[in-house]
Amino acid sequence: MKFNSLDQNHLKNLQAMVARDRFSTGDSVLDLHAKDQSQHPARRPEAVAWPVDRSEVAAILRYANAHRIPITGWGSGSSLEGNPIPVQKGIVLDFSQMNRILNIRAEDFQADVEPGVIYQDLNEKLRHTGLFFPPDPGARATVGGMIANNASGTRTVYYGSTKDYVLRLEVVLANGEIIELGTRAAKTSSGYDLIHLMVGSEGTLGVVVGATLRLVGFPVEYSAAIATFPSVAAASKAVFEIIRSGLNPAALELLGPECIELMNREEQLGLNVSPTLFVEFHSSTAGHLVEILDMGREICNEQGCTEFRSGLGKAERDHIFKARHALGEMIIRTHPDCGTLVVDVAVPNTAYPEMIALIGEEMNATGIMGYTFGHAGDGNVHFNIPGKKGDEKQWAQIDKLVQRLVSKALDLGGTATGEHGVGLGKKKYMTAEHGKSLDWMKQIKALFDPNGILNPGKIFP
Amino acid sequence: MKFNSLDQNHLKNLQAMVARDRFSTGDSVLDLHAKDQSQHPARRPEAVAWPVDRSEVAAILRYANAHRIPITGWGSGSSLEGNPIPVQKGIVLDFSQMNRILNIRAEDFQADVEPGVIYQDLNEKLRHTGLFFPPDPGARATVGGMIANNASGTRTVYYGSTKDYVLRLEVVLANGEIIELGTRAAKTSSGYDLIHLMVGSEGTLGVVVGATLRLVGFPVEYSAAIATFPSVAAASKAVFEIIRSGLNPAALELLGPECIELMNREEQLGLNVSPTLFVEFHSSTAGHLVEILDMGREICNEQGCTEFRSGLGKAERDHIFKARHALGEMIIRTHPDCGTLVVDVAVPNTAYPEMIALIGEEMNATGIMGYTFGHAGDGNVHFNIPGKKGDEKQWAQIDKLVQRLVSKALDLGGTATGEHGVGLGKKKYMTAEHGKSLDWMKQIKALFDPNGILNPGKIFP
């Protein structure tokens, strides 16, 4: 695909499509839209626009499509795989001014939102209704970004991913056409499911300008526990057993001792520096919760758990999950001269202990150090590896190690990316993961975006 | 699209692709594959093949694509909207000999199956594992048919539809290419979600030859209740309140008095002939269940419930749900000289009472009689209308009434089909429901099946 740069004429025309103060080519603005939270190199767009409604988005896309100008959507820049880095330059559409919660229909368990809404703000607004939007990637992510990446998080083991919460979408296609997908009914068997095609497509098939989200009732009762283990192997075996038991935890997070150490230091958690599981259960009655927690304790003890601390109060639980959500950033801060490569594989439950064991073996064999954690209940493994910026030899070693881990995950029936999306960093694994179906993904891309203007350079190797 | 008939040469070539006793052009075989359970007219295919593996399916599709011969998949013929009727003739692929359960990986909560597996047989086989595959359309449906229609049923209000339980698919495309989609990991953000594109596409984009299904733990405790109301309006209001309460019923079925009368007669249920709700709750502890049932009773009583009978034993509960599942067939048997048109709209929870009220008004205004029931917890309304075969005047009236009901459902934000699929009968509503996005569905169809050989004449108006 050949793209055109923005000349003065383009800039004049594009600027006229939004208000003057919502279009910028200023250096600081371009810098702020040049990279996400990943280690991928920054790349500045040529201009940033802040649309306020779908007709502005449609006008810009129509123009960009006619003139072969790349368009990359921008939520809050919190993604972890370079997903919104405008590697082919062009225009970044920043959705921070399309951040209205349009309608909360509590009795239908639904909310209509614009793509720039931060999901925590939505949940804050929903608080008085007793409902919430469960996916929780942690960072202050926008709903639009979460839809683009099919984001998930600590609660996904129980509540599912973003894809499970999108009932309707308004999408602007590459040609500027606006389509509306889905229904407000709780279920449908009507025609092809284009919503799920859009969710997780990382802005390469269309630009989401509105969504109806499904909400669920906030659990009446919830309780968290911290389980400490003598080894990561024992902790990962306990994960397997908890999932196998059908206890349905609402969160089941694994943390290596190096992660606990960091979280203790930065958030004063005061936890034992050992491999640890954070477990949370939700229920509608307190009695039920006590029973589940007891069963969870028993399973952990069978795997050699050295301490199982349940009955955490709300403040302590919130503190722990806040620290857990901040862990990625803590790792980056701790290694200021490093970039951090983030492994995001997910494997079937039975393969989880093996996957975790391989990480340990690789660290021993290569001397490369990383942080092991993840949404263990989903089989999702994160392994964050700090590598010295500019040290090409080290990065080549890290890259090879990660390739071995991803290959193993695929061999075990898993996926190269459980929740961060393909972006830039996981492109090279797509052929191995998808085989011939990748060609069909490419053909769908060509159908929806024949000029390839939408977030070019992502997903496809 | 122009299709070719099967000449002697085609028949000889196709027969050679499967064993002789698995290819037939016999009259009785063609008759058995000419209609489903709907009122749509029978149409015989020209031949039926029973493939035993995906390479046979691929060979037949490759040939059919080259020679423009229609291909229609066939599970058990239990669908309700003409979905597998070979209206353009050609070949029916009957999957009853691809009915192996290949692998139950209980510790991963997964099963690998061939498309001809009957879902009740799968659940029987799973019994000793404590797991089950939740979607339950009722009839002895095949997994392949359920995937084609995104089938759901009485448990969907709690457990979701078929789409929520498909992790991997093997699909033969129109050109004979075999693609494998998805992952065995519990979640993924890797590339476009082609699985959800295939699920619910009614065999028009590809032919499913294998699936990995997600399973869930069977509830340790469950309990059903029967609530009787003085009016359908009161019962539908109670549905709204139960859903709004967040009690999360595992089944919430509405039955008009005419349905109860029929079920009493055919299954000796001995229920009050009044508008009725069947409610079921699942939990992991008995104490929890008692609390939920009490709250459910309270809500029903507030809506004027005249009797709330809980504590039903397993035998009685199974009997009731067996009768509920057989209701569609009872209606057909009760009106032997009639065809039965089945309304399958679904609307948001808040709109449910209004939708139900409209059906009553329509019956009063037109004198047309029907049976009102449905998976009320999903907002799914069934209204089965028997119409005299051959009475064109009556059918024209029925058709107009149904058009008014579907239009109302769409106006309320709902869908023309909650679970039966579009097939033949709901095609005419697709433009109203999907607007411009229908054109994109058509383009996806043209991409995957440029010659239009896969289940032609379905979904698109």
Check whether residue B293 and residue B331 sit in a common domain.
yes
**Residue A291 confidence (pLDDT):** 86
Nearest alpha-carbon partner for A45 in A54, A36, A55: A36
What CATH number should be reported for the domain holding residue A138? Answer: 3.30.465.10
Closest partner residue to A187 among B217, B378, B436, by Cβ?
Answer: B378
Contacts of B260 (CB under 8 A, 6+ apart): B269, B271, B272, B273, B274, B276
In eight-state DSSP terms, residue B140 is S
Q: What radius of gyration, in Å, describes the C-alpha atoms of chain A?
A: 22
Residue with tokens 């021993």: A364
Please give the average per-residue pLDDT across A242-248, as a whole number. 87
How does DSSP assign B8-70, residue by residue?
A: HHHHHHHHTTS-GGGEE--HHHHHHTS--SSSSPP---SEEE---SHHHHHHHHHHHHHHT--
Mapping DSSP to helix (H, G, I), strand (E, B) and coil, where does residue A2 land? coil
Whether residue B404 is predicted with pLDDT greater than 90 in this model: the reply is: yes
Check whether residue A256 and residue A199 sit in a common domain.
no
Lowest mean pLDDT among A217-221, B66-70, B406-410: A217-221
Tell me the pLDDT band of B283, cut-offs 50, 70 and 90.
confident
User: Which tokens belong to B158?
Assistant: 């709690």
Counting the structural domains of chain B, the total is 2
Tell me the pLDDT band of A204, cut-offs 50, 70 and 90.
very high
On whether residue A438 sits in a domain, the answer given is no
Pairwise CA distance, residues B95 & B49, whole Å:
9
Whether residue B284 is predicted with pLDDT greater than 80 in this model: the reply is: no
Which residue from A minimizes the CA distance to B147? A189
**Does B459 contact A at CB distance below 8 Å?**
yes
Q: Contacts of residue B447 in chain A, CB cutoff 8 Å?
A: 443-444, 447
**Residue B254 confidence (pLDDT):** 96
Whether residue A367 is predicted with pLDDT greater than 90 in this model: the reply is: yes
Tell me the pLDDT band of B316, cut-offs 50, 70 and 90.
very high
Domain boundary among A165, A184, A217: A217
State pLDDT tens for residues A136-192: 998 899 999 999 999 999 999 999 999 999 999 999 999 999 999 999 999 999 999
A355 contacts A361 by C-beta, under 8 angstroms:
no
Tell me the pLDDT band of B288, cut-offs 50, 70 and 90.
confident
What CATH number should be reported for the domain holding residue A366? Answer: 3.40.462.40
On whether residue A52 sits in a domain, the answer given is no
On whether residue B176 sits in a domain, the answer given is yes
Check whether residue A118 and residue A251 sit in a common domain.
no
A419 contacts A200 by C-beta, under 8 angstroms:
no
Check whether residue A283 and residue A350 sit in a common domain.
yes
Check whether residue B152 and residue B235 sit in a common domain.
no
Closest partner residue to A348 among B185, B216, B435, by Cβ?
Answer: B185
- Measured from the Cβ of residue B152, the count of other Cβ atoms closer than 10 Å reads 30
Q: Determine, for residues A187 and B346 on separate chains, whether the beta-carbon distance falls below 8 Å.
A: yes
Given the DSSP bridges, would you call strands A251-255 and A276-283 parallel, antiparallel or unpaired?
Answer: antiparallel
**Does A443 contact B at CB distance below 8 Å?**
yes
Which residue from A minimizes the CA distance to B183? A414
Check whether residue B213 and residue B231 sit in a common domain.
no
Lowest mean pLDDT among A378-382, B98-102, B283-287, B364-368: B283-287
Check whether residue A240 and residue A355 sit in a common domain.
yes
Whether residue A104 is predicted with pLDDT greater than 80 in this model: the reply is: yes
Domain boundary among B217, B235, B261: B217
Q: Contacts of residue A152 in chain B, CB cutoff 8 Å?
A: 187, 189
**Residue A285 confidence (pLDDT):** 75
Q: Determine, for residues B350 and A288 on separate chains, whether the beta-carbon distance falls below 8 Å.
A: no
Determine whether A235 is exposed, middle or buried from the number of CB atoms within 10 Å of its CB (0-12, 13-18, 19+). buried
Q: Contacts of residue A185 in chain B, CB cutoff 8 Å?
A: 345-348, 378-380, 409, 413-415, 418
Q: Which amino acid is at B430?
A: M
Check whether residue B252 and residue B305 sit in a common domain.
yes
Whether residue A458 is predicted with pLDDT greater than 90 in this model: the reply is: yes
Domain boundary among A182, A217, A252: A217
On whether residue B347 sits in a domain, the answer given is yes
On whether residue A42 sits in a domain, the answer given is no
Give buried/exposed letters for B66-99 (b at 16+ CB in 10 A, else e). Answer: ebebbbbbbbbbbbbbbbbbbbbbbbbbbbebbb
Check whether residue A298 and residue A395 sit in a common domain.
yes
Mutate to test the interface with A, among B131, B159, B187 (most CBs of A within 10 A): B187
On whether residue A169 sits in a domain, the answer given is yes
Closest partner residue to B187 among A152, A288, A447, by Cβ?
Answer: A152
Q: Contacts of residue B180 in chain A, CB cutoff 8 Å?
A: 435-437
State pLDDT tens for residues B237-246: 999 999 988 8
On whether residue B238 sits in a domain, the answer given is yes
Pairwise CA distance, residues B279 & B38, whole Å:
28
- Measured from the Cβ of residue B431, the count of other Cβ atoms closer than 10 Å reads 13
Tell me the pLDDT band of A406, cut-offs 50, 70 and 90.
very high
On whether residue B107 sits in a domain, the answer given is yes
Pairwise CA distance, residues B196 & B214, whole Å:
14
Check whether residue B114 and residue B174 sit in a common domain.
yes
**Does B328 contact A at CB distance below 8 Å?**
no
Pairwise CA distance, residues B371 & A267, whole Å:
62
State pLDDT tens for residues A412-426: 999 999 999 999 999
Q: Determine, for residues B186 and A437 on separate chains, whether the beta-carbon distance falls below 8 Å.
A: no
**Is the torsion defined by CA of B226, B228, B232, B233 positive or negative?**
negative
Q: Determine, for residues B246 and A130 on separate chains, whether the beta-carbon distance falls below 8 Å.
A: yes
In eight-state DSSP terms, residue A278 is E
Tell me the pLDDT band of A219, cut-offs 50, 70 and 90.
confident
- Measured from the Cβ of residue B65, the count of other Cβ atoms closer than 10 Å reads 21
Q: Determine, for residues B189 and A418 on separate chains, whether the beta-carbon distance falls below 8 Å.
A: yes
Check whether residue A276 and residue A395 sit in a common domain.
yes
Residue with tokens 């229909």: A105
**Is the torsion defined by CA of A285, A286, A291, A294 positive or negative?**
positive
A residues 42..101 contacting B (CB < 8 A): none
Q: Determine, for residues A108 and B418 on separate chains, whether the beta-carbon distance falls below 8 Å.
A: no
Q: Determine, for residues A187 and B156 on separate chains, whether the beta-carbon distance falls below 8 Å.
A: yes
Give buried/exposed letters for B334-356 (b at 16+ CB in 10 A, else e). Answer: ebeebbbbbbbbbbbbbbbbebb
**Does B108 contact A at CB distance below 8 Å?**
yes
State pLDDT tens for residues B129-176: 989 999 999 889 999 999 999 999 999 999 999 999 999 999 999 999
Q: Contacts of residue A162 in chain B, CB cutoff 8 Å?
A: none
Closest partner residue to A108 among B216, B349, B445, by Cβ?
Answer: B349
Please give the average per-residue pLDDT across A285-300, as a whole number. 89
**Residue B13 confidence (pLDDT):** 97
B residues 238..257 contacting A (CB < 8 A): 240, 243-244, 246-248
Check whether residue A331 and residue A280 sit in a common domain.
yes
In B227-351, where does DSSP find H-type helix? 232-245, 257-267, 286-302, 314-334
Q: Contacts of residue B345 in chain A, CB cutoff 8 Å?
A: 185
Q: Which amino acid is at B31?
A: D
**Does B283 contact A at CB distance below 8 Å?**
yes
> Can you give the residue range of the structural domain that contains A132?
97-217
As a whole number, the mean pLDDT across chain A is 96
Tell me the pLDDT band of B410, cut-offs 50, 70 and 90.
very high
State pLDDT tens for residues B368-386: 999 999 999 999 999 999 9
Q: Determine, for residues B186 and A378 on separate chains, whether the beta-carbon distance falls below 8 Å.
A: yes
Alpha carbon of B20: minimum distance to chain A alpha carbons (Å): 32
B residues 408..427 contacting A (CB < 8 A): 409, 412-422, 426
Q: How many helices (H) and strands (E) does chain A have?
A: 15, 18
